[in-house]
């Protein structure tokens, strides 16, 4: 099987179209087209073409799960908890969505499973909000899914966490865990999303203050190219972000999984000028242009 897996489009249609073109191009080159397209959430939020992105995802993806920005835009999260800017952005985004777009984002399930995969936006224990960027946080989350792989988005950083499979099978934990108010505030008050530094410090992880008795796991930052999960390991995998990368590389990031080959991490240049022009024409914050140009 081959699956195209991407996340965090954030209303950047030029980046999304470049990724969809690249998926087709890889299929042509290898003679093996993907069987399914999966989107791990945050189709909209901040970016200038939310409606176009939802239409594209709706038309192309076999599965799309919701992210925090999708829920903010359709009123599923209480905007009273958001910073003023984030609330304004959510209102603006909502006004750009058609009824069909709205209904599509509304209907998507928080978590779903396909074969060896569990799909969530944040983490398996807290699908909408938790950032998985530290080994401790990831280690705590392995017992929350029962498949070989879990694919996540939300941090905008291409990442792999590996955990060795042992004879001892931990019981699958309940899928409810509240985020503290402080973490929620941190996540919501930065109008442009958290920086890599704040993500890697672990301060946005719901697990950061807990002592962990979880099995350890290993953090890998995958380079573009094929990553094979070693036999005897489970993995949590983040394909990075299509429309707002934050790892210092402004190119769109996504993954093609091939059950024979492994995980192909791709970086794709796109027409940044088109997105920049739209951001400026709409009067959206200039800081967004800077962060897209630098991938931060």
Q: Which stretch binds Zn ion (CB under 5 A): 5-13, 101-109, 135-143, 161-169?
A: 5-13
Residue number with CB closer to Zn ion (9 or 217): 9
Q: Which of 134, 117, 143 is nearest to 213 (CA)?
A: 143
Q: With beta carbons less than 8 A apart as the criterion, state whether 74 and 106 touch.
A: yes
| Cα–Cα distance, 292 to 296 (Å, whole number) | 7
Q: Which of 142, 70, 153, 71 is nearest to 119 (CA)?
A: 153
Q: Which stretch binds Zn ion (CB under 5 A): 3-11, 77-85, 207-215, 259-267?
A: 3-11
Total of residues contacting Zn ion (CB under 5 A): 2
Q: Which of residues 173-192 bind Zn ion (CB under 5 A)?
A: none
What is the pattern of x (binds Zn ion, CB under 5 A) and - over residues 266-285? --------------------
Residue number with CB closer to Zn ion (42 or 136): 42
Buried b (16+ CB within 10 A) or exposed e, 101-130: bbebbeebebbeebeebbbbbbbbbbbbbb
Buried b (16+ CB within 10 A) or exposed e, 36-71: ebbbbbbbbbbbbbbbbbbbbbbeebebbbbbbbbb
Q: With beta carbons less than 8 A apart as the criterion, state whether 241 and 268 touch.
A: no
| Cα–Cα distance, 162 to 220 (Å, whole number) | 8
List of residues 6+ apart from 90 with CB closer than 8 A:
45, 69, 72, 73, 79, 82
CA 15 to chain CA mean position, Å: 14
Residue 114 CB, shortest distance to Zn ion, in Å, is: 22
What is the pattern of x (binds Zn ion, CB under 5 A) and - over residues 190-209? --------------------
Residue 42 CB, shortest distance to Zn ion, in Å, is: 4
Binding of Zn ion by 42 (CB under 5 A): yes
| Closest chain position to Zn ion (CB) | 42
Count helices and strands in the chain by DSSP H and E runs:
10, 12
Q: Which of residues 48-107 bind Zn ion (CB under 5 A)?
A: none
Q: Which stretch binds Zn ion (CB under 5 A): 29-37, 42-50, 133-141, 164-172?
A: 42-50
- Output the six-digit token pair for 223: 């380079």
Residue 47 CB, shortest distance to Zn ion, in Å, is: 10
Residue 153 CB, shortest distance to Zn ion, in Å, is: 6
Residue 68 CB, shortest distance to Zn ion, in Å, is: 7
Chosen residue from 3, 8, 11, 48 binding Zn ion by CB under 5 A = 8
For residue 250, the tally of other CB atoms under 10 A from its CB is 20
Residue 168 CB, shortest distance to Zn ion, in Å, is: 35
Residue 133 CB, shortest distance to Zn ion, in Å, is: 13
Residue number with CB closer to Zn ion (87 or 148): 87
Q: Which stretch binds Zn ion (CB under 5 A): 35-43, 70-78, 160-168, 253-261?
A: 35-43
2, 61, 125, 194 from 12: Cα distances, Å: 25, 16, 28, 18
Residue 250 CB, shortest distance to Zn ion, in Å, is: 16
Beta bridge partners of 238: 159
Residue number with CB closer to Zn ion (12 or 118): 12
- Positions touching Zn ion (CB under 5 A) are 8, 42
């Amino acid at each position: 099987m081959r699956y195209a897996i991407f996340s965090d489009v954030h209303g950047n249609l030029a980046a999304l179209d470049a990724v969809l073109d690249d998926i087709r191009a890889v299929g042509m080159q290898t003679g093996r087209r993907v069987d399914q397209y999966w989107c791990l959430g945050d189709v909209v939020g901040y970016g200038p073409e939310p409606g176009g992105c939802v239409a594209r995802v709706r038309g192309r993806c076999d599965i799309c799960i919701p992210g925090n920005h999708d829920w903010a835009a359709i009123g599923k999260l209480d905007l009273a908890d958001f910073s003023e800017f984030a609330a304004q952005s959510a209102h603006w985004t909502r006004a750009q969505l058609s009824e069909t777009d709205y209904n599509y984002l509304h209907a998507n399930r928080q978590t779903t499973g396909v074969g060896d995969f569990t799909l969530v936006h944040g983490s398996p224990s807290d699908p909408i909000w938790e950032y998985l960027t530290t080994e401790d946080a990831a280690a705590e989350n392995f017992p929350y899914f029962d498949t070989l792989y879990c694919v996540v988005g939300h941090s905008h950083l291409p990442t792999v966490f590996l955990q060795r499979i042992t004879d001892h099978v931990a019981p699958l934990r309940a899928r409810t865990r509240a985020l503290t108010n402080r973490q929620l505030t941190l996540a919501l008050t930065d109008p442009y999303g958290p920086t890599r530094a704040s993500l890697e410090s672990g301060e946005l992880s719901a697990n950061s203050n807990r002592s962990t008795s979880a099995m350890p796991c290993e953090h890998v930052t995958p380079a573009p190219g094929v990553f094979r999960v070693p036999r005897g390991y489970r993995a949590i995998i983040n394909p990075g972000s299509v429309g707002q990368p934050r790892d210092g590389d402004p190119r769109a990031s996504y993954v093609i999984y091939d059950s024979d080959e492994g995980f192909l991490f791709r970086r794709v240049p796109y027409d940044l000028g088109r997105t920049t022009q739209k951001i400026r024409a709409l009067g959206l914050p200039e800081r967004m242009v800077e962060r897209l140009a630098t991938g931060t």
